[in-house]
Structure 1
Amino acid sequence: MASDSAQDARLDAVVGAYDVRGVVGEGLTDEVVEALAAAFVDEVDAAGSPVVVGHDMRDSSPGFAEAFARGATARGADVISIGLCSTDESYYASGSLDAPAAMFTASHNPARYNGIKFSRAGAEAMSKATGLSAIRDRAATYLAEGIPAVATPGTVDSRDVLTDYASYLRSLVPLDGIRPLTIVVDAGNGMGGLTVPAVLETAAGLPALPLTIIPLYFELDGTFPNHEANPLEPKNLVDLQKAVVEHGADLGLAFDGDADRCFVVDEKGDAVTPSAIAAIVAVREIARARRDAPDAEISVIHNLITSRIVPETIEAAGATPVRTKVGHSLIKDEMRRTGAVFGGEHSAHYYFRDFWSADNGMLAAMHVLAEFGTQPAPLSEFASEYSPYAASGEINSTVADVAAAFARVVEAFAGRADFDELDGLTVTGNPGVDDDFWWFSVRPSNTEPLLRLNAEASTRAQMEAIRDEVLALIRA
């Protein structure tokens, strides 16, 4: 069998580095989904075995899940449909059932998009380098020539895993002993509207916790009528910040569309950085690992644009920080390779060894509640220990000639800094050359003509000076 160039191009438009994503009815159609499903079953050798399929609240998601089931069963897989779920709930199903999984979501993207996040059995990540390219190629063949049915087609069975998922998270992070907390939660009309009541309240039949939840936008609505379900954008946190202050709440939580990322704001309505959250959770996971195995070597992963406080906190807690490139599937692979107990990213993805090395925003939030809820200080004071430095946040610049921009940066900082090229270019000030510590990272986008700048320094004035100098070089 062989694909044709038209089908190759069609799939290249939706198969990215780490998942499938495209505009519904254009790049992503029922026909494309069926072909991808059949190809996925072949890639993971699932004929005669179970495959988990879940989906978010987007209008197109139920139909795509059904199309996936048709393609998967045609190639002999037995589909376990878990219905509406968060992405980390689909990882739970994949891990607990030891079955490959497909999750229909476009995460934080606007309503016209949808996509698929694939996992091998045990919630193991897939990327272009570890299976997605092969799925794309085989799906192109199936689009061109049709999907050949096997002698024994698979079956479809429905299963509800929400209560088991909630129970498992509570077993990892008990919250029954913390002080009473009032929390505003912005679900953004995404899947947090389903999982928060199950995990943090009593909707799944679990005992009540000492938490009072004030809900914002818990109605599942894939048109996102209130704001985009992307808390990484400051404009999408405004409603939460206002509500926390108005209600006198202890803190606020914001989830993205598929609820695998969680952002935190303090009692003043100010955002707590994902790096601070990563440091807080790292301390807890290191301590737990140390209790279980006092003499074990413990490592924690952080990507190269998290704050310097993250590796400092990991080392102070007696573990080894492992610095990685940016990338969802890459970090999952590194978690498994190193046996790291935890991993944190600047984008609010948090990975846990005890959650099959997959990411789970709800679990990160529970760790924060557990740690914060056992001490008396307000969150602004408690979190300040983990936010001692000044950061720029990610700044994107359109650049026609990336190599020339890199050359200008290297020339300007030669003799003043150390350079490394783990992921783009990271430049770190030499001790003794500048009074204050500083570093910055410049990384090219994989999909757009952009350079992404992140800078950090020990003082805001130093950070702003470095930020402005580098931006002028990039945009020259």
Structure 2
Amino acid sequence: MMDLSCFKAYDLRGQVPEQLNPDLAERIGRAYVDVTGAKKVIVGYDIRLSSPDIATALSDGLRAAGANVYDIGLCGTEQVYFATSHYEMDGGIMVTASHNPKNHNGMKMVGPESRPISSDNGLNDIRDRVLEPFTDASEQGSYETLDAMDAYVEHLLGYIDTASLKPLTIVANAGNGGAGLVIDQLEKHLPFRFVKVHHEADGNFPNGVPNPILPENRSATAEAVVAQQAAMGIAWDGDYDRCFFFDENGRFIEGYYIVGLLADQFLRKTGGGAVIHDPRLTWNTLDLVQAAGGTPVESKTGHAFIKQRMRDEDAVYGGEMSAHHYFRDFAYCDSGMIPWLLVAERLCQSGQTLSSLIDARIEAYPASGEINRTIADPKAVISAIEANYREQGGRVSKVDGVSIEFDDWRFNLRMSNTEPVVRLNVEARGDKALMEAKTEELLAEMERLNR
């Protein structure tokens, strides 16, 4: 039997070559065409050493099944999203394992208009089709390279008023992923001085796997911000669909507060509209969206859910505290480039520092950040905590996991989809001590129930 353990809920990820290799990639290409009926498919790949061979085999499979392949080469996930929608293709596949270890690889798949292909709308069918015999199409598909960079950069610049920009020093840490290639192109159009850290694309990951959410990976960016007296720092993961911010003091900013800042900045441009947010931490986002004339809409966490809800609501922007930011004019997809351009624009227009924009929000809505605990029976623990706090008068919502709200504090508890882990987020209204006390209280309760 073929090992298909690389198929996950939203994408493919696994070790190379044990779980993903060129032979399997070729079959995946064939299965993708058989299941979706796609005739024109974008293919791109990240900086991992195994990516070019896997992308070539994938393209061979797509062509053998009769699809024409448009290869945009080394890129980020969002460029596959962009090219698929911009050039009106039938689908797109990005070869990437994002921030996984360097001996891993994977794929992210989309259909027409860059709609995500997940386990509930085709990914499981592709997995099952891989196991069946294949016959070549009567006419093999064509192959051509497509340079999408100029159109992509032009699109990115359309989100900001370049005339309002002023000289800023910005630290850009690509983590030896692909983001540096885009910064080099954007740099020509912007008045910013970029201090480039771990800039060269290198699948050997000489400075570790690019994953700025890990505290140990933040010091290079933070130190460069302070040393260069930069206005802010930005760091990306390997396929740069997520970006992370550091203020002018080198402080890492929780993604939750960036959601509110971006919602506010975007609504200033649009004069209103729906903004999608996840249920983990909400009060700061609700406050800013409503103040800017927008309509906040809560969605289950996860890119497939957020993107669908954005389409349903025709939302202008969507944000998750995990540093995924989605934009209506970007085919409702997530981008790691649009957010920092909007934040830089805000700094230029307001004359404020990033810390001054963020500090007031942290003070108004102090939050714990996401805390993970390994729990033997997550469902039982969450149910017991829900019953306990419901009895105390908490208002319960179950959009994603369980959210329980009191007048002056709230929390969300949710299970991981992939491991026996429970994720906790707590926030309060202007009372950091209360937030910290309630966080400790909930963690102690989780520990007691887990015995």
TM over 0.5: same fold? Answer: yes
Q: 2:399 aligns with which of 422, 431, 434?
A: 422
Q: 2:242 aligns with which of 261, 280, 290?
A: 261
Q: Which whole-Å deviations, capped at 9, do the CAs of 1:35-55 have from their partners, x for residues lacking one?
A: 111111122212xx2100000
Rounded to whole Å, the distance in 2 between the matches of 1:123 and 1:174 is 26
Structure 1 counterpart of 2:77, one-letter code: T
Q: Please, which runs of 5 or more residues in structure 2 have no aligned partner?
A: none
Q: What is the CA distance between 1:466 and its match in structure 2?
A: 1.1
Structure 1 partner of 2:433: 461
Q: Does 1:173 align with 2:160?
A: yes
Structure 1 counterpart of 2:58, one-letter code: F
Structure 1 partner of 2:309: 334
Task: Give me the CA root mean square deviation.
Answer: 1.4
Q: What is the CA distance between 1:175 and its match in structure 2?
A: 2.6
Structure 2 partner of 1:197: 184
Q: Which runs of 4+ in 1 moved over 4 A?
A: none
Structure 2 counterpart of 1:277, one-letter code: I
271-280 or 443-452: which moved more?
Answer: 271-280
Structure 2 partner of 1:105: 96
Structure 1 counterpart of 2:293, one-letter code: G
Q: Does 1:156 align with 2:130?
A: no
Instruction: Classify 1:102/1:471 alpha carbon distance in 2 versus 1 (closer, same or farther; 3 Å).
Output: same
Structure 2 partner of 1:3: none
262-271 or 378-387: which moved more?
Answer: 378-387
Rounded to whole Å, the distance in 2 between the matches of 1:309 and 1:373 is 23
Query: What are the equivalent positions in structure 2 for 1:36-435 lying under 5 Å apart?
Result: 36-46=28-38, 49-99=39-89, 100-141=91-132, 145=133, 147-199=134-186, 201-202=187-188, 208-290=189-271, 298-387=273-362, 388-413=364-389, 414-429=391-406, 431=407
Structure 2 counterpart of 1:68, one-letter code: L
Rounded to whole Å, the distance in 2 between the matches of 1:440 and 1:394 is 11
Q: Which whole-Å deviations, capped at 9, do the CAs of 1:154-196 have from their partners, x for residues lacking one?
A: 0110111111111111122233421210001110000111111
Report if the CA contact (8 A) 2:44-2:55 is conserved. yes
Q: What is the CA distance between 1:308 and its match in structure 2?
A: 1.4
Report if the CA contact (8 A) 2:254-2:369 is conserved. no
Rounded to whole Å, the distance in 2 between the matches of 1:28 and 1:233 is 26
Q: What is the CA distance between 1:374 and its match in structure 2?
A: 1.0
Rounded to whole Å, the distance in 1 between the matches of 2:239 and 2:365 is 31
Q: What is the CA distance between 1:15 and its match in structure 2?
A: 0.9
Rounded to whole Å, the distance in 2 between the matches of 1:231 and 1:396 is 17
Rounded to whole Å, the distance in 1 between the matches of 2:386 and 2:275 is 30
36-45 or 88-97: which moved more?
Answer: 36-45
Rounded to whole Å, the distance in 2 between the matches of 1:73 and 1:56 is 21
Report if the CA contact (8 A) 1:408-1:474 is conserved. no
Rounded to whole Å, the distance in 2 between the matches of 1:158 and 1:236 is 35
Report if the CA contact (8 A) 2:6-2:14 is conserved. yes
Rounded to whole Å, the distance in 2 between the matches of 1:384 and 1:302 is 21
Structure 2 partner of 1:14: 6
Q: What is the CA distance between 1:288 and its match in structure 2?
A: 2.6
Rounded to whole Å, the distance in 1 between the matches of 2:100 and 2:419 is 16
Q: Which whole-Å deviations, capped at 9, do the CAs of 1:302-324 have from their partners, x for residues lacking one?
A: 00113411111111111211101
**What secondary structure, in the 3-state scheme, does the structure 1 residue paired with 2:350 have?**
coil
Q: What is the CA distance between 1:285 and its match in structure 2?
A: 2.2
Rounded to whole Å, the distance in 1 between the matches of 2:182 and 2:342 is 16
Instruction: Classify 1:407/1:332 alpha carbon distance in 2 versus 1 (closer, same or farther; 3 Å).
Output: closer
Rounded to whole Å, the distance in 2 between the matches of 1:475 and 1:30 is 45
Report if the CA contact (8 A) 1:86-1:195 is conserved. no
Using structure 2 for the length normalisation, give the TM-score.
Answer: 0.96
Q: Which whole-Å deviations, capped at 9, do the CAs of 1:380-409 have from their partners, x for residues lacking one?
A: 112223333221111111111123212331
Structure 2 counterpart of 1:214, one-letter code: V
Instruction: Classify 1:410/1:275 alpha carbon distance in 2 versus 1 (closer, same or farther; 3 Å).
Output: closer
Rounded to whole Å, the distance in 1 between the matches of 2:318 and 2:99 is 21
Report if the CA contact (8 A) 2:233-2:248 is conserved. yes
Structure 1 counterpart of 2:128, one-letter code: D
Rounded to whole Å, the distance in 2 between the matches of 1:411 and 1:328 is 30
Rounded to whole Å, the distance in 1 between the matches of 2:159 and 2:290 is 23
Using structure 1 for the length normalisation, give the TM-score.
Answer: 0.91
Rounded to whole Å, the distance in 2 between the matches of 1:378 and 1:125 is 37
Q: Percent identity?
A: 38
**What secondary structure, in the 3-state scheme, does the structure 1 residue paired with 2:94 have?**
strand
Rounded to whole Å, the distance in 2 between the matches of 1:443 and 1:311 is 20
Structure 1 counterpart of 2:379, one-letter code: A
Q: Please, which runs of 5 or more residues in structure 1 have no aligned partner?
A: 1-5, 203-207, 291-296, 432-436
Report if the CA contact (8 A) 2:410-2:426 is conserved. yes
Rounded to whole Å, the distance in 2 between the matches of 1:311 and 1:55 is 37
381-390 or 59-68: which moved more?
Answer: 381-390
Q: Which whole-Å deviations, capped at 9, do the CAs of 1:355-382 have from their partners, x for residues lacking one?
A: 1100011001111111111122222112
